[in-house]
Chains A and B, each alone.
Chain A
Amino acid sequence: MTQTVKTQQPAEAAAKTQPASPTIAIRKSCNPDGIGLSHYVLMDKKSAK
């Protein structure tokens, strides 16, 4: 994985003539109750069936 700050490059500038793809940003929230670990995942939710 690379983690870099992007500065505007020539190809980037040229691409700006194209419409931008829509930004995607989603976050969901709930009361945390996870207790699983890499040795075990508890499958006690309805969605497991």
Chain B
Amino acid sequence: MMAAVLNRANIGPALVSVDIGHDVYAAVTDPNTAFWALVDKTRIAESLAGGPLLDAYRNKADTFARELHALRFELKPSGVYLNPTERCNLNCTYCYLPGEQRSGGSHMPTETLLASLGKLRDYFRSVMPEGHKPRAIFHGAEPMMNKDAVFAAIDAFADDFTFGLQTNGTLLNDAAVEFLTSRNVSIGLSLDGPSADITDATRRTWGGKSVHAKVLAAMGKLKGYGSWSVIATCTTENLPYLTQMVELFHANEVPTCMLNTVRCTLPGARGVKPSDGDMAKAFFAAMDRTHELYRESGQKLIVANFANILIGILAPTARRLMCDISPCGGGRAFFALAADGGLYPCSEFIGLPSFNGGNLLTDGGVEAALASAAFQTVTTRDVDTFSPCNECAIRHFCGSPCPAEAYEMNGSMEKTGAFCEFYKEQVNYALRLIADGKADDYLWDGWDEDTETVFDLTL
């Protein structure tokens, strides 16, 4: 339902009320600044009519507007996603990279990767404050297929970047785990099912072999390491098993997981896309289960994609993920380097040649890519400027991800992404947790250590 706005143009910012499905509380928000408050459902009209809440907000509205504008439009890149190879040993149903690249593509030569990181280091030094390390994430297709180059780069640039690695986990032997963990590399794995038959439905080798047991073995090797996570991509194939998924992760002491909606950029993914309603039902059952497990054991399993929604509400600038903000982080907070040296706003666009912003080493480099039409198409996608997002009360908690999906699946950058209603339900769920005083149970311990409380009103 479209948000209706109480017009307060003459006396201050406009607020809208949102039914969050809570017994006691409703939300009131100013969508333009991502301000929110939870008010007694029986007192909504008087809360909006005036009084201490509105007075306190009006004193801060300009500050909040400036903060959100800076987050949305004034960031400089501080991270890069590196694709050291086009190849992958798996053929996952929903991959955003074209199959012909993954099966028969090329590796980036070691010397090219080292030269690229040198150029990227120089770029980041020019835009980041002294003392802040940029992040470099080896990410696609399967970085461990080009392990020698990746490991050489991690050692050569240990002083210049904080490194991460997203891998399918099948090539993580003891020596590789020792190398990566001894260098504090943040490691992400992928697993789609609590049992092999479920994982196999979407993640198998090109020859159709199961990799479930190999990923479980990699999880076992990482147990006790602080900086690792596991992604489960939610599809029609594993949705009934999400609760069992989080039980498996918790039993294996996974500190952080993501239960991501499948990205529908390429057609293969759309064949396993769940409905918003089915996604919400399964997702919240799994979230409820993580909370039960935490209460029973004292051990948290953080679901990072949901935690990010929650943090985006409590502290907009403390987001760790830059998908659920508009414009998204692609081409702003980070960018991607393809194995052929091409620069893209995000790895999600690597299969779409029109989003190539030029070659890092042979064209104009990062600055030229950031200014290119290819990047600007993404970085100017603004939920304030197109319907229905521009009338949505939670548009700056959601950001209408993902632009690649909107463009390829829905036909335009000025369309919503693939899971509009599910995002609204996540925001409702998050606000209900805040109303019930449970938000911290769903967040990393110490998540707000580097934040300052700038608004705290209990009336």
Contact A2 B1 (CB under 8 A): yes
From B24, B64, B320, B455, residue with most partner A Cβ within 10 Å: B320
Across the interface, B45 reaches (CB within 8 A) one of A8, A23, A24, A33, namely A8
Do A42 and B320 contact each other (CB < 8 Å), given the known contacts A12-B42, A25-B457? yes
User: Which segment of B201-209, B256-264, B288-296 sits at the interface?
Assistant: B256-264
Q: For the complex, is B118 an interface residue (Cβ under 8 Å from A)?
A: no
Q: DSSP class of B's interface residues: helix, strand, loop or mixed?
A: mixed
For the complex, what is the distance from the CA of A18 to the CA of B226, rounded to whole Å? Answer: 48
Chain B residues, CB < 8 A from A18:
42
For the complex, what is the distance from the CA of A23 to the CA of B54, rounded to whole Å? Answer: 12
Chain A residues, CB < 8 A from B78:
33, 35
Chain B residues, CB < 8 A from A42:
79, 135, 137, 162, 164, 186, 320
Chain B residues, CB < 8 A from A16:
42-43
For the complex, what is the distance from the CA of A28 to the CA of B314, rounded to whole Å? Answer: 6
CB distance from B213 to the nearest CB of A (A): 23
Q: For the complex, is B370 an interface residue (Cβ under 8 Å from A)?
A: no
For the complex, what is the distance from the CA of A6 to the CA of B184, rounded to whole Å? Answer: 51
Residue positions of A touching B, CB distance < 8 A: 1-8, 12, 15-16, 18, 20-49
Residue positions of B touching A, CB distance < 8 A: 1-6, 16-20, 24-26, 35-45, 47, 53, 56-57, 60, 64, 67, 70-71, 75, 78-79, 81, 132, 135, 137, 139, 162, 164, 166, 184, 186, 188, 226-229, 231, 255-256, 258, 260-261, 263, 304-305, 308, 314-323, 329-330, 333-334, 346-348, 392-394, 401-402, 421, 424-425, 427-428, 434-435, 444-459
Q: Which 6 A-B pairs have the closest CB atoms?
A: A35-B79, A1-B424, A49-B226, A25-B37, A28-B315, A15-B42
